[in-house]
Structure 1
Amino acid sequence: MSASYEWTEWHLTPAGWIRGSERTDFSKTTIKEPPTDRVLTVTYTDENSGYSAHQSHSEDWRSEDADSVAALLEQYGPAPAQL
């Protein structure tokens, strides 16, 4: 069985979570510039080797405005767990 490695960036903004750059199997990587009003960027990764699967989130960027980050996380919740 072949390996699969897919990921999607999610940007937290005052409008909620916005989909950013992404890579899916059998497609080209789509690159999008992050929104200028983002306060947090998280990458959701889905890896599947055929024998095991692993999904994870990694925080890639966080605004220095901790109050805005906390308020928007409370309003919109954590980053989506989907590609």
Structure 2
Amino acid sequence: MLSLGWMSPRIMESIMALSDEWEDQHLTPSGWVSGSYKHDHGHREEKPIPPDTVLSVRRHVVVGALGAMPSVSESRQVRGGADPALVAELEENFGPPIFGC
């Protein structure tokens, strides 16, 4: 019998999930740009990261079972050694990213 005890609960949740989606948004000097995404039922689109991106944010939404509360996490990655003051200024000007998932 295969043992999956070595996997983290997050990985197990993702493998056995009823719903497992993620989406990227990229902050540029001209605003937020939609990036790559994976939606349920295999729909996935890979998009290049805009070269002037200062911050990328990925939202990951997992629903473990019918009727369960979704687990939502966001990860942030500052790009290209962007100045934190510039990132903060752009976030203030354009607000938070808007996700579809």
1:32 aligns with 2:47: yes
Task: Flag the structure with more relative contact order, 1 or 2, with Cα contacts below 8 A and sequence separation at least 6.
Answer: 1
Structure 1 gap segments, 5+ residues each: none
How many angstroms does 1:55 deviate by? 1.5
Runs of 4+ in 1 over 6 A off after TM superposition: none
Distance 1:46 1:15 in 2: 27
Structure 2 gap segments, 5+ residues each: 1-16
Local SS of the residue matching 1:42: strand
Instruction: Give the partner amino acid of 2:78.
Output: R
Match of 1:57 among 50, 74, 90: 74
Deviations 1:12-46 (A, max 9, x none): 01121111000000133211110011100000111
Radius of gyration: which is bigger? 2
Considering fraction of residues, name the structure with more strand.
1
Local SS of the residue matching 1:82: coil
Name the % identity: 33
Distance 1:41 1:82 in 2: 16
TM-score, reference length from structure 1: 0.84
RMSD across aligned positions (CA): 1.6
The answer to whether the 8 A contact 1:7-1:23 is kept is yes
> How many residue pairs align between the two structures?
81
Match of 1:20 among 35, 38, 49: 35
Local SS of the residue matching 1:6: strand
